[in-house]
Structure 1
Amino acid sequence: MSTLMSQSAAVIKMNIQSLPRRLWMSLAMVFASAVVVAILLAFLAMAKGFDATMKSAGSEDIAFFMRTGSAAELNSSASREQVNLIENAPGIARDEQGPMVSPELYVIVDGVKKSTQNEANIPLRGLDQRGVAMRKGFTLVAGRMFNPGTDELIVGAGILREFDGFELGQEIRFGKYKWKVVGVFSTGGNVFESELWADAKVIQNLYNRGSSYQSIRARMTSPDSLPLIAEYLKNEPRLTHEVQAESSYFAEQGKSLGYMAMFGWVISSIMALGALAGALNTMYTSVSDRAMEIATLRAIGFSHFSAFIGTMAEAMTLAAIGSIVGSLAAFIFFDGLSASTLGGSFTQVVFSFQLSPDLFIKGISMALIIGFISGFFPAWRAARVPVIVAFQTAR
């Protein structure tokens, strides 16, 4: 066994040392593996970042109400009477000011993306101090809070990064209405940073919404209160709403970009086939280039297995180098990259690409699969090189 191991180690060393003779073909294999890994990680980081942005916005102890059948806030509605009924539901937390309920509006307005200078939909949310307090991680990073009853608004940090014209102190016109930016807020990088916030009653007046709202948030006495609230809605004929935990709502919304991960796997798999073809060519060339050396080693007593292992090690080494290069490229160019895309409410969601150890493992695994397959068949050929080749070449 020790002889077999020492033979294999010697062949591996010889193969690695001979790589400069096939420098350009070896680099081509490294490059192909690196591109596959980088593309895969880019798509996975995009999907992971979007999903994290959505999921981190939700709270387990916030009940989220929308009209039954509505897929997003934009399609929902709630009258003032219905808000009052929900305020009286069992399981709703109260403080000295009354039920901890936030009826909210959701209006689509236009913004100009910095990256493309094209217009895109962004959400203008109407809420009050109750609603602001329900957003976990809320902090004003610049300026101040909007004053109720005025045409002032505050801007999410994500909007400020991705869109023009929303700097502190700017006046913004949406249609015939003008607003003034008085503050910039952060909610820890979640989806709420992709919104503009203003006083709900002002938006009701300007957009002719009367006393209606679209969605309702309510703090529960505990997450266990959700079934009790759902039963109350079922038994109250004046309510046409369904309830879920806010965390569940945003988890579902986050799936809207889940296809990007699948798309990334499909694209990377197709590219991997191309990379595999090139890698097979590289490894067959390597075996052909070293045929005399392999045969000579066989003639002096080296086993078939050592020739097989040496070629496999060469292929896996090149694939591993490619995976490292691709991972580094993805980390440099994509990790933390800010972008925006269309979310479930037909508005832009600002998010950051997120690369994590599990994603790197997936990328490296794909490269090593390419290396294994591209090495196996040439290694099988190397193991079957006849000893007589050494003497034929010598003549």
Structure 2
Amino acid sequence: MKKFLINLGLLLLMVVALVIWTKLPWIGAVALAVLLALWMLLTRTGRQASSVTAVGMGTLRQRIGSSSVIVIGIAGVVGVLVALLAMGQGFQATLQGGGRDDTAIVLRGGSVSEAQSVMTHDDVNAIEQAPGIARDAAGKPLVSAELVVAASMRKKNSDDDGNAQLRGVDDSAWALRPNLKIVQGRKFKPGLRELVVGQGAQREFANLGVGDEVKLGRQRWKVVGVFASGDAYASELWADRKEVAADYRRGDSAESVLVKLSSASAFAPFKAALAADPKLKVEADTTKAYFAKQSAGLAKIIRIVGLVVGVIMAIGAVFGALNCMFAAVAARAREIATLRAIGFRGGPVVVSVMLETMLLALLGGVLGAVVVWLVFDGYTASTLSGFSDVVFQFKVDGALIWTGLKWALAIGFIGGLFPAVRAARLPVTTALREL
């Protein structure tokens, strides 16, 4: 019963420690490391733990194989976890990058995306009269009615087809997106079947160089420019809305209306005016909020998949660490017993085994994080968002690396706790007789 209660206490200690650890910022971890170092330098028990740890670390060369299992296993866990989280973070940053507080998007009521929305010419005219809209030098409201269609195109260096997002826009579209810059060629001319393409779309699909012609819908279109935006728009092809509508038989309709507000505070009266108009059945939101909603679903799925895969791999890494550290404790039984016999307490033995495991775990975590950062940071990929391909970049930042290191150290803590307690409990006479 006593042994059972002790083990139960260890389990509770482990759970509490892990809960606290998951909430700990990096500065807290540094503070803990400093306190541990001071304890090992300034106290007798701490110096004993330091001595035992030094002896254990000195035997790593004889246990290079088993130690490598811990390091490589944890490096794999951290690498996979951070890579998946970086994918979700990069995708979310790409979608949210096109959002602002001083621009609004208007969709048909009940629509959650542009693909589900349809508005008539009269709807667009009514929206243009709403208060709070900014105007250009000529007094014209900065409003762009836009139409989005999925255009089937051949992918670059492949025989497979993908769906590019073709966006038909009005003249004001450029003023509504100040971060969008033409980097090659020029803007398309209204009334002509001309395209400007995002850099992401150009990397993803074939025949999108300046001067190329590509068949979209029923007609051939000429690429006249390339733009950079650093957001989801970079995955799109842009053209005159009326030409897109004519080619795809959409009449004079639009799916969304993008509006430049006179200020961020003008959104509330703008939205209220649209809601008060009985002829309009529309919903407005800031583009920042709209793109946050669009990215939330898929980014959440990617995070969940990353955590599930990480947990499964972490369980395997924990068992690997347990096996290796139990074997290490068994191999050092005489050494530990001798230390206990000359006056070393159980506490320093526990700390030494835990430190050894967690240092190996930290090495594995750093290795996995460095590999992921070198391979995936800025790596360009594409995924489906709705019915079209969105090109985005993996984003490996300090916060994700710290998350990976926390997982590594947590695995080391779990994998070292029970072998450490076994080492401290090892009867001196029994250990000396075993070897």
3-state SS in 2 of match to 1:209: coil
3-state SS in 1 of match to 2:172: helix
Any stretches of 5+ residues in structure 1 without a counterpart?
A: none
Which residue matches 1:253?
294
Letter in 2 for 1:154: V
Q: Bigger CA drift: 88-97 or 239-248? A: 88-97
Figure out how many residues of one structure are paired with residues of the other and give that number: 392
Which residue matches 1:347?
388
Q: Bigger CA drift: 44-53 or 174-183? A: 174-183
Letter in 2 for 1:208: R
Q: C-alpha distance in 2, partners of 1:157/1:114?
A: 13
Q: Bigger CA drift: 215-224 or 371-380? A: 215-224
Deviations 1:5-36 (A, max 9, x none): 22111110111110111111110110110000
Which residue matches 2:28?
none
The 8 Å contact of residues 138 and 185 in structure 1, kept in 2 or not, is answered as yes
Which residue matches 2:219?
177
Normalising to structure 1: TM-score of the pair? 0.96
Which residue matches 2:265?
224
1:110 Cα offset (Å): 1.3
Q: C-alpha distance in 2, partners of 1:391/1:315?
A: 24
Letter in 1 for 2:322: L
Out of 135, 141, 154, the residue aligned to residue 177 of structure 2 is 135
Deviations 1:266-325 (A, max 9, x none): 110011001111110000001011111101111111111111111111100110000011
Which residue matches 2:279?
238
1:97 Cα offset (Å): 4.3
1:176 Cα offset (Å): 2.7
Which residue matches 2:345?
303
* Aligned-residue identity in percent: 41
1:117 Cα offset (Å): 4.3
1:253 Cα offset (Å): 0.6
Q: C-alpha distance in 2, partners of 1:79/1:198?
A: 19
Q: C-alpha distance in 2, partners of 1:332/1:300?
A: 49
3-state SS in 1 of match to 2:400: helix
1:235 Cα offset (Å): 2.1
Q: C-alpha distance in 1, partners of 2:249/2:423?
A: 79
Which residue matches 2:22?
none
Which residue matches 2:23?
none
Q: Bigger CA drift: 243-252 or 296-305? A: 296-305
| 2:367 is the counterpart of 1:325 | yes
Q: Bigger CA drift: 4-13 or 231-240? A: 231-240
| 2:333 is the counterpart of 1:291 | yes
Letter in 2 for 1:257: L
| 2:414 is the counterpart of 1:379 | no
Q: Which has the higher helix share?
A: 2
Which residue matches 1:119?
161
| 2:193 is the counterpart of 1:151 | yes
Which residue matches 1:276?
318
1:2 Cα offset (Å): 2.6
1:150 Cα offset (Å): 0.9
Out of 174, 191, 213, the residue aligned to residue 254 of structure 2 is 213
Q: CA 1:213–1:223 in structure 2 vs 1: closer, same or farther (change >3 Å)?
A: same
Q: C-alpha distance in 1, partners of 2:371/2:363?
A: 12
Deviations 1:197-239 (A, max 9, x none): 0011111221222211111011111222222122222221221
Q: C-alpha distance in 2, partners of 1:200/1:120?
A: 22
The 8 Å contact of residues 37 and 366 in structure 1, kept in 2 or not, is answered as yes
Out of 225, 233, 238, the residue aligned to residue 192 of structure 1 is 233
Q: C-alpha distance in 2, partners of 1:90/1:364?
A: 51
| 2:108 is the counterpart of 1:67 | yes
Q: CA 1:150–1:230 in structure 2 vs 1: closer, same or farther (change >3 Å)?
A: same
1:389 Cα offset (Å): 4.2
Letter in 1 for 2:267: L
The 8 Å contact of residues 218 and 247 in structure 2, kept in 1 or not, is answered as no
Letter in 1 for 2:93: A
1:56 Cα offset (Å): 1.1
| 2:409 is the counterpart of 1:368 | yes
1:129 Cα offset (Å): 2.6
Q: C-alpha distance in 1, partners of 2:432/2:189?
A: 92
Deviations 1:102-152 (A, max 9, x none): 111111101233476422211100113301221131111111111111111
Q: C-alpha distance in 2, partners of 1:384/1:377?
A: 10
The 8 Å contact of residues 292 and 389 in structure 1, kept in 2 or not, is answered as no
3-state SS in 1 of match to 2:146: strand
Out of 79, 83, 106, the residue aligned to residue 148 of structure 2 is 106
CA RMSD, 1 decimal: 1.4
Q: C-alpha distance in 1, partners of 2:432/2:102?
A: 80
Q: C-alpha distance in 2, partners of 1:23/1:367?
A: 19
Q: C-alpha distance in 2, partners of 1:377/1:81?
A: 72
Q: C-alpha distance in 2, partners of 1:192/1:263?
A: 26
Deviations 1:134-171 (A, max 9, x none): 11311111111111111110110111122222122211
The 8 Å contact of residues 65 and 243 in structure 1, kept in 2 or not, is answered as yes
Letter in 2 for 1:283: M
Normalising to structure 2: TM-score of the pair? 0.87
Q: Structure 1 segments of 4 or more deviating over 4 A? A: none
Q: C-alpha distance in 1, partners of 2:108/2:413?
A: 54
The 8 Å contact of residues 112 and 163 in structure 1, kept in 2 or not, is answered as yes
The structure whose RCO (Cα within 8 Å, separation 6+) is larger is 1
Q: C-alpha distance in 1, partners of 2:201/2:255?
A: 22
The 8 Å contact of residues 142 and 175 in structure 2, kept in 1 or not, is answered as no
Q: Bigger CA drift: 366-375 or 230-239? A: 230-239
